[in-house]
Every structure is written in C-alpha cells, then in structure tokens.
Amino acid sequence: MTLSIDRQTDPASLKIHPQVALAKFTTWKVGGPAQWAIEPTNIEETQAAIAWAKENNLSITFLGAGSNLLIGDTGLPGLVIITRHLRWIETKFDAELCQIEVGAGKMIGSLAWQAARKGWTKLEWAAGIPGTVGGAVVMNAGAHGSSMQDVLVSTQVLNTAGEIVTLQPAELDYSYRHSNLQGSDLLVISAILQLAAAENAAAVVGKTQKDLERRHTTQPYDQPSCGSVFRNPLPQFSAKLIQDAGLKGYKIGGAEVSEMHANFIINCGDATATDIFQLIHYVKQQVKAKWDVDLETEVKMMGEFPALIG
C-alpha cells in the first residue's frame, strides 16, 4: 500500500528538528546529538520524514526506547526517527482469536500487563522490559526461555519507498536476540501477537508479578543501563564468566560493571559513551584472557567510537 506524501522541504513544517540531544532518549543516558530527529505519531509524518531524508541524501536511523543502544558521544549524522510515540493504531485485543494488534511505539512491558489482566498468557516474560514493541520485534527480545518469535503472527514495516509491507516471522530469520530487521532499512510500525486465554486468569497476573520481582531482585533496575550488554555464549552465561573473572565493580570513568549483575554496565551518573565503550572492550579482553571465550555484544553500537588497541 502506498500513501501519498506531501513533499515539503521545510524540516520544521515536517516536525523534523536539528541537533536533538539523544542521551535522554536512551536508558544509558549517554550519547551525542542527532543531526536531525523526528518523533512521529502517525504513518504520514513518518513517510514524509523518510522522503525528506531521501531527497536530502541523509542516512536514517531508527530508535525505539533506546534501551538496547550505545550512541557515540559525537552523536548521529542524518535523520533519527524516534518511534516511541508511533502509536498510530489503538491497541486492539481480539478476544475471539486471542490476538493483539499494536503499534510499534507501545511499551512491551505495559502491553504484557494489559494482557495479563485479561487473563491472556504467553507475554508474562515481557513485564519489565523497558523497550517498545517495535524494538522487541527487531531484537527478538525475550526472557525466561520465551521470546518475541514465539508470539509474533506478523509485523507491518515501512520501507524506504514509503510502502507498508506485511512480514511473517518466517521471513525475519529469527534466532536468539536476532532478526534480519536489525540494521535493515525497514521500520517496524505494528505487530500482531498470538496469546492464549489462561484457565486461571489470576495465575497470569501472579506469574507476571513474579517475573518482574525477579528482575528487581537480580538486576540493577533503578540505575541507568541497557540491560544485558553481552549475548550469552550458550551453554555458558556472560554474567557468570564476567563475575568469575573478578570484574564486578570494575570502573572506567563513570561506567561500572554492576555489583548486582555482572552482565550489566551501569552509568554511575557522569559516564560518557566512550567510558562505556572502553569498559565493554576491557571486559571482552579479560574474559578472553581468562576463559578463552569471545563475548559478543547484544547492545547495538551507533555512531563513532575511539579506536582501541588490543
């Protein structure tokens, strides 16, 4: 489906702003400015912004809630499309099919609670994940043995021609915290999820609450972080490898390996993206030296970072 685009060239009239500080749009609270940024609320605004960026030969970067991102201190060139207000469709709960249709900007954690209160099961794991539905589709977010790929029926994406295309999970090359949408030029705009009606509705709320409490007791939830920094080199766990390398509490600048959960790096208040980047590199080096394991980051790096030696 192609919608007509009003090809205005004045960025202000398109709600596109210059030099937008991005740190406040990430859960690590670091990163420099976007050359240009927009927070669209509907598809027409998004299409117009994409067309404007193309006309001006600018790169386009997508940001959800910024909960899995490290943006460099010098910021991002081109246009950044921030999708947290892209709730262009009202969330629909189809009681007959037990399906939810939801816009990309909706927070996946609050959706999990809404589903739980209806007695719908299969999304309990998402309570407490501070990302958008779009980010969860792209990252194949998950926890406690379940992930997005288990519930996704289909997703709508916007391509660079401004067309809306529907994709099935089989087309997304899903695996652990991976989809082929990562780094692609397709913007997730909505998703349909398949849940199931539980026999015991109260038990769903109980499990959601328990999953959330588990996070609060095992993760530094009240400090700026991006969740797990490294993918688990299964069957091994990054947190255990980092902890056993003696790195809990290790600090570079304002960035610290969490004392509570070794796979979290926290911003102690004055961290720069470079501090975090250097600490990530240090942890990788130490784990390689100690356990001969190459840790890979789960977090997506965007922008420029200093060259590192070793």
Ligand X SMILES: Cc1cc2nc3c(=O)[nH]c(=O)nc-3n(C[C@H](O)[C@H](O)[C@H](O)COP(=O)(O)OP(=O)(O)OC[C@H]3O[C@@H](n4cnc5c(N)ncnc54)[C@H](O)[C@@H]3O)c2cc1C
Catalytic residues, by residue number, are 177, 228, 298
* Member of 72, 75, 131, 303 binding ligand X (CB under 6 A): 131
CB within 8 A of 156, min separation 6: which ones? 164, 165, 166, 167, 188, 189, 190, 191
CB of 96 to ligand X, least distance (A): 28
The residue whose two tokens read 């947290």 is: 84
Q: Binding to ligand X by residue 19, rule CB under 6 A?
A: no
DSSP for 95-147 reads TTTTEEEEETTSBHHHHHHHHHHTTEES-GGGTT--SBHHHHHHHT-EETTEE
* Member of 30, 48, 115, 141 binding ligand X (CB under 6 A): 141
Q: Within 10 Å of residue 249's Cβ, how many Cβ atoms?
A: 10
Helix spans in 219-259 (H): 238-244
Backbone angles phi, psi at 220, to 5 degrees: -75, 70
Amino acid found at 115 = A
CB of 136 to ligand X, least distance (A): 4
Residue 254 or residue 288: which is nearer to ligand X going by CB?
Answer: 254
Residues 249-288 that bind ligand X (CB under 6 A): none
CB of 290 to ligand X, least distance (A): 26
Residue 237 or residue 291: which is nearer to ligand X going by CB?
Answer: 237
Q: Which stretch binds ligand X (CB under 6 A): 6-14, 201-209, 224-232, 284-292?
A: 224-232
Report how many residues bind ligand X under the rule CB under 6 A: 33
Residues 178-217 that bind ligand X (CB under 6 A): 181-182, 187-188
* Member of 32, 72, 119, 142 binding ligand X (CB under 6 A): 142
Residues 62-101 that bind ligand X (CB under 6 A): 62-69, 83
CB of 37 to ligand X, least distance (A): 13
Amino acid found at 202 = A
As a whole number of angstroms, the distance between CA 194 and CA 79 comes to 33
CB of 113 to ligand X, least distance (A): 15
Structure tokens at 219: 């993760």
Establish whether the linkage from the previous residue to 235 is cis, with ω within 30° of 0. yes
Residue 70 or residue 205: which is nearer to ligand X going by CB?
Answer: 70
Q: Which stretch binds ligand X (CB under 6 A): 10-18, 71-79, 91-99, 141-149?
A: 141-149
Q: Binding to ligand X by residue 300, rule CB under 6 A?
A: yes
As a whole number of angstroms, the distance between CA 87 and CA 9 comes to 25
CB within 8 A of 229, min separation 6: which ones? 238, 263, 264, 265, 280, 283, 297, 298, 299
Backbone angles phi, psi at 102, to 5 degrees: -145, 145
CB of 261 to ligand X, least distance (A): 9
* Interface positions with ligand X (CB under 6 A): 27, 62-69, 83, 104, 129-132, 134-136, 138-139, 141-143, 181-182, 187-188, 219, 221, 225-227, 300
